[in-house]
Structure 1
Amino acid sequence: MRTIRRTLVASALALPLTLGAAGIASADTYGSTEVQAGPDGAATHSVQSDTHRGSSSFHENSAAAGPDGAAHSSTSATAGENGDSQYRQHSGWAGQDGAGSSETHSSTDGGSDQGVLSGTLGAIGL
């Protein structure tokens, strides 16, 4: 289970570095895939990012399986040319001690509607 946790932690830490590296490269598309297999299990990790006509997207997936269990993690973020955006992070795991999952998501519609904070700040003149 330690290997699975290490893989998930490494994937989470790689996200900011990957986003920075994609910006430095100034490419319209970026992709990377790693696959590993050995006597203690197998793991895969992929990153894809794309910009096209004012929209951009980022997707990262990783999975690992070994003698102590299996785990999966995915993160995606998109931004449209009209200001709409979405973020989703999901992870799941199963092992000898049980199973679990977690999800976080957020989105904006990109329309002219103001959020609660910006509407309040605008109303008081800030």
Structure 2
Amino acid sequence: MLAPQNSLLATHRVVTPDDLTQLPLITAQQNVINTQFAQWLKKPLTTLNQVATYNFHQNAARLVSAGIGYALYLNSHSEVPQSDLAFIPLMPELTSNTSLIWSNERPPSAAAKFLIDHVYQCQSRH
């Protein structure tokens, strides 16, 4: 969850589904992400007060900074994009899996090979 640094929510250690019932929320435009949030909430997002949507995390941050609402935001591993914002983790934790897929019928480009090798290195560290 992305919240204004000076908000009451920013003082919370975690955000639970009950914390979101009355908040103006900024949600992702991607259906797959919203499906994950709905499963986490155990109810459809349409039951919440959705005031805006975003397609990039930077846009969500700008909307939160402008006082539009609080962003349902999955990206906890990146830095908070602006100093006037706070990231509060969700509880229970919500994680998302990503698949990296490529064709075995032709060799990957040098850039793709670098990315694949980097992903394997990161996986082996965890």
Q: Same fold per TM (> 0.5)?
A: no
- The TM tier, using the shorter chain, reads under 0.3
Q: Quick check: which one's strand share is greater?
A: 1
- 1 or 2 for the larger relative contact order (CA 8 Å, sep ≥6)? 2
Q: TM-score, with normalisation over the residues of structure 2?
A: 0.26
Q: TM-score, normalised by structure 1?
A: 0.26
- Greater helix content: 2
- Structure with larger Rg: 1
